[in-house]
Amino acid sequence: MRILYFGDIVARSGRDVVLENLPLLRREYNADAVLINADNAAHGFGTTPSLCKAFFNAGADVILTGNHTWNQAEIIPFLDENKHIIRPINYGDSLAGRGVCTFELPSGKILVVAEVLGAAFMESVENPIEALDKMLQKYHLGTNANAIVVDLHAETTAEKNAFGLYLDGKVSAALGTHTHVQTADAQILPNGTAYITDVGMCGAEHSVIGFDSKAPIARLSRRFPSERLSPSTNKGFINAVFIETDDNTGLATHIESIFRHF
């Protein structure tokens, strides 16, 4: 299976560059499935039903969110209505939406996509390992899933490293998101799982993780918050990863990071 995953889409600069170029990259990589992270798509905080529909219309198959899932109130009922948008699995079953999507390709192959929220420097959620174990009791590579992709939406590199090694051999890919800066460690782990600590972002160049640099720099110099973050309006770029998996075992055979200016 050939899977293309776009990192955190940040505000208009990120939305525009993805909507304009997703079809192009899908054709270039001959992707069977396209996944995107829209956790920052709506002015930098959360996403909305209208934005999700635009991404689906552009060719996205599954949309993931993250710690900003609940920032836009109108997305909450949409999480229940659309099975191809997910939020972190360890928010639990009592909240709207789901943490796992099963996507059937035209060929009949099954792609399972899940997302877990890290514990370090994040809001209190259910134990991430227990939530992953519960999911993996239901889905197994080579039996009822041709490929399994897990988004590791977490703050620290060490935590994402640990998640990746814990999942090695159990899933096709363990892909870090949330910190918006693409890391240089795309690799296949010893037991066959594709891994990267952070996919990066789709957002404005010459920005601070997609936001105008004025407020972050002021915070550094004054040592206290002085103004609200606002998204940068600079031209956007794309960070993504491309993964290939073995259809028999479900394990990864290839991963490459993508950093593309248009």
261 classed as catalytic: no
Q: DSSP letter at 168?
A: B
Q: Which amino acid is at 217?
A: I
Nearest Cα residue to 242 out of 212, 201, 199: 199
β-sheet with 110-117: strand ranges across: 100-104, 110-117, 147-153, 173-177, 194-196, 187-188
* CA max distance for the chain: 57
Distance CA 259, CA 245 (A): 21
Q: Which of 68, 153, 178, 180 is catalytic?
A: 68
Q: Residue 75: how many CA atoms within 13 Å on its side-chain side? A: 27
What would you report as the CA-atom Rg of the chain, rounded to the nearest whole angstrom?
17
Strand 236-245, strand 2-6: pairing: antiparallel
Just list the catalytic residues. Answer: 68
